[in-house]
């Protein structure tokens, strides 16, 4: 049987998730600004740019950060575009190459007032410009700044490990993989942006239930993304950093068997997330409002990422809304990403 004819069913992990779809009223405006900003760095050739725009990572920000203010939506758009430019460049290199890109990015974040070296990879200037604007939105001593830098550092470090696994063709156990995926998904720095403008007390931020919420939100996003992106990642040779492939090998099941197992695993995470929300302690009326906004931000990220998966062309091309209804997916022929290896 030709593997490209293999079909499987995508579960709806959020069928009972109480946060509905919400697209920011500032989406169109922020998308126009961020698209112009991103394209100004010339990250891809003409064909690659067309494919990149089809994915509409601005839509992801518009869905995930709603109903926050315009400034957060615009910063969210820029951050999503940075993530995926980095993703495309790191996907075609080894650990050493990914480490080099990581060093450029983190230096730009830590030293945003220094000009970037001539001829440096475009991500340095992208991150420098983004961080100057993001950090000016809050007080210089705002805790969210440190949270973001820590989480982005862990994210880029995990992407390097992913590149090393890919080069060495390492199959990790599901639990080993999930520990790396929590960082390589980019969820934590994305959640950090939810803090901007809230001035969330550290006591609330570091509460065990809140910390667990971030892990659970990340797991729901990562597992849902792995299932929905499996066909594309398999086609591009990236399946070793996908829980579907790893569960298949670890448990000796086929694609559908692995997806069904992940659906059951995600159901437990989903229940735990809702329990933590319900049992969150009170810190007083003023802080509780901030906490609710932050928790809604985490939840909106879970919902928004799922909506974007089907509404953009990232994984399903023009068939996303149809697949969202039928839940039927087919493996794809081999392909490459939006950056040529000679880039």
**Residue 339 above 70 pLDDT?**
no
What mean pLDDT do residues 197-202 have? 97
Instruction: Judge whether 338 lies within some domain.
Output: no
Residue 90, classed as helix, strand or coil, is: helix
CATH number of the CATH domain containing 46: 1.10.600.10
Instruction: Judge whether 17 lies within some domain.
Output: no
Instruction: Judge whether 99 lies within some domain.
Output: yes
In this structure, are residues 97 and 86 in contact, taking their beta carbons and an 8 Å threshold? no
Element (H, E) at 7: strand 7-9
Number of domains composing the chain: 1
What is the residue-wise DSSP string for 281-304? Answer: ----HHHHHHHHHHHHHHHHHHHH
Instruction: Judge whether 15 lies within some domain.
Output: no
pLDDT in the model for residue 2: 46
Instruction: Judge whether 273 lies within some domain.
Output: yes
**Residue 53 above 90 pLDDT?**
no
Residue 283 lies in domain: 24-330
Weakest-pLDDT range from 21-25, 76-80, 88-92, 195-199: 88-92
pLDDT in the model for residue 81: 96
Instruction: Judge whether 11 lies within some domain.
Output: no
**Residue 21 above 80 pLDDT?**
yes
pLDDT in tens, 116-147: 999 999 999 999 999 999 999 999 999 999 99
d(CA 238, CA 68): 34
Q: How confident is the model at residue 342 (pLDDT cuts 50, 70, 90)?
A: very low
**Residue 3 above 80 pLDDT?**
no
**Residue 201 above 60 pLDDT?**
yes
In this structure, are residues 40 and 81 in contact, taking their beta carbons and an 8 Å threshold? no
pLDDT in tens, 54-76: 899 999 999 999 999 999 999 99
Instruction: Judge whether 7 lies within some domain.
Output: no
Beta bridge partners, 329, equal 8
Instruction: Read off the tokens for 214.
Output: 């971030």
Q: How confident is the model at residue 51 (pLDDT cuts 50, 70, 90)?
A: confident
In this structure, are residues 187 and 299 in contact, taking their beta carbons and an 8 Å threshold? no
pLDDT in the model for residue 277: 98
d(CA 285, CA 293): 13
Instruction: Judge whether 19 lies within some domain.
Output: no
In this structure, are residues 331 and 235 in contact, taking their beta carbons and an 8 Å threshold? yes
pLDDT in the model for residue 212: 98
């Amino acid at each position: 049987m030709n593997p490209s004819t293999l079909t499987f069913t995508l579960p709806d992990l959020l069928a009972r998730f109480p946060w509905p779809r919400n697209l920011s009223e500032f989406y169109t405006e922020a998308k126009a600004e961020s698209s112009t900003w991103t394209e100004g760095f010339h990250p891809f050739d003409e064909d690659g740019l067309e494919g990149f725009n089809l994915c509409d990572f601005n839509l992801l920000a518009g869905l995930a950060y709603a109903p926050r203010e315009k400034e957060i939506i615009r910063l969210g758009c820029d951050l999503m575009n940075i993530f995926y430019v980095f993703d495309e460049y790191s996907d075609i290199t080894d650990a050493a190459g990914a480490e080099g890109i990581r060093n450029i990015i983190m230096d730009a974040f830590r030293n945003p007032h220094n000009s970037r070296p001539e001829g440096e990879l475009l991500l340095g200037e992208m991150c420098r410009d983004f961080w100057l604007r993001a950090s000016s939105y809050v007080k210089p001593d705002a805790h969210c700044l440190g949270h973001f830098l820590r989480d982005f550092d862990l994210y880029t470090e995990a992407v390097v490990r992913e590149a090393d696994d890919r080069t060495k063709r390492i199959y990790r156990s599901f639990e080993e993989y999930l520990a790396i995926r929590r960082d390589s998904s980019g969820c934590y720095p994305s959640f950090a942006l939810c803090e901007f403008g809230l001035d969330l007390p550290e006591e609330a931020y570091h509460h065990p239930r809140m910390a667990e919420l971030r892990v659970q939100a990340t797991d729901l996003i990562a597992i849902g993304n792995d299932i929905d992106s499996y066909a594309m990642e398999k086609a591009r040779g990236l399946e070793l950093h996908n829980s579907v492939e790893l569960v298949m090998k670890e448990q000796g099941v086929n694609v559908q068997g692995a997806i069904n197992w992940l659906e059951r695993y995600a159901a437990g995470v989903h229940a735990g997330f809702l329990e933590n929300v319900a049992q969150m302690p009170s810190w007083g009326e003023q802080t509780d409002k901030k906490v609710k906004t932050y928790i809604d931000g985490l939840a909106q990220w879970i919902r928004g990422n799922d909506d974007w998966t089907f509404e953009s062309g990232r994984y399903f091309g023009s068939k996303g809304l149809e697949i969202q209804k039928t839940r039927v997916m087919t493996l794809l022929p081999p392909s490459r990403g939006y950056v040529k290896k000679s880039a």
